[in-house]
């Protein structure tokens, strides 16, 4: 697949998650809740996680922001659901490395979040892409 076709596909995946977010809403019952924002551009997210026996059983988010931050939240919640917390944290580390333009070699798949790899070329947008991931880290580390 040529670079232009790959770039077009990635753009389509990002816009699909923005227009049709997965896991948007609120969790019922007992959930970890983390509120975070990116003051430089106004993105804000409320992430809720249901963690049982060291596994992310469910994840939902609410918030507002640019297409990068909202699609990243959608992708992240999709990627971590059903995963052990240790894997979710490792995935966040991998995602952060990808945002810094580093080569990532891992057996853990980021799923659709890999479509955000091009954000590394736009330093001002990296905080948008990592907002949900940082909220997840904060939530599971405070539990």
pLDDT band of residue 108 (cuts 50, 70, 90) is confident
Q: Against a cut of 0.85, is the pTM above it?
A: yes
Half-sphere exposure of 63 (CA within 13 A, CB side): 33
What domains sit in the chain, N to C, each tagged with a CATH number?
Answer: 3-142 (3.90.1010.10)
Structure-token match 């753009």, residue found: 11
Task: Please tell me the predicted confidence (pLDDT) of residue 58.
Answer: 97
Q: What is the pLDDT of residues 122-132, one digit of tens each?
A: 899 999 999 99
Going across the sheet that includes 43-52, the strands are: 32-38, 43-52, 55-64
Q: Is the pLDDT of residue 7 over 80?
A: no
Q: Is the pLDDT of residue 2 over 60?
A: no
Q: What is the pLDDT of residues 31-83, one digit of tens each?
A: 999 999 998 889 999 999 999 999 999 999 999 999 999 999 999 999 999 99
* Two tokens, residue 127: 């905080």
pLDDT, the chain, mean: 92
Task: Please tell me the predicted confidence (pLDDT) of residue 19.
Answer: 96
Task: Please tell me the predicted confidence (pLDDT) of residue 105.
Answer: 77
CA dist., res. 56 & res. 37, Å (int):
22
CA dist., res. 23 & res. 6, Å (int):
26
């Amino acid at each position: 697949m040529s670079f232009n076709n790959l770039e077009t596909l990635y753009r389509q995946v990002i816009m699909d998650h923005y227009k049709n977010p997965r896991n948007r809403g609120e969790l019922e019952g007992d959930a970890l809740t983390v509120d975070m924002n990116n003051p430089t551009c106004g993105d804000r997210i409320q992430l809720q996680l249901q963690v049982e026996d060291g596994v992310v059983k469910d994840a939902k988010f609410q918030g507002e922001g640019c297409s990068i931050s909202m699609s990243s939240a959608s992708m992240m919640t999709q990627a971590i659901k059903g995963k052990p917390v240790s894997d979710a944290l490792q995935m966040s580390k991998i995602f952060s490395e990808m945002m810094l333009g580093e080569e990532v070699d891992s057996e853990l798949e980021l799923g659709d979040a890999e479509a955000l790899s091009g954000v590394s070329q736009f330093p001002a947008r990296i905080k948008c892409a990592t907002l949900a991931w940082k909220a997840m880290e904060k939530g599971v580390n405070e539990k």
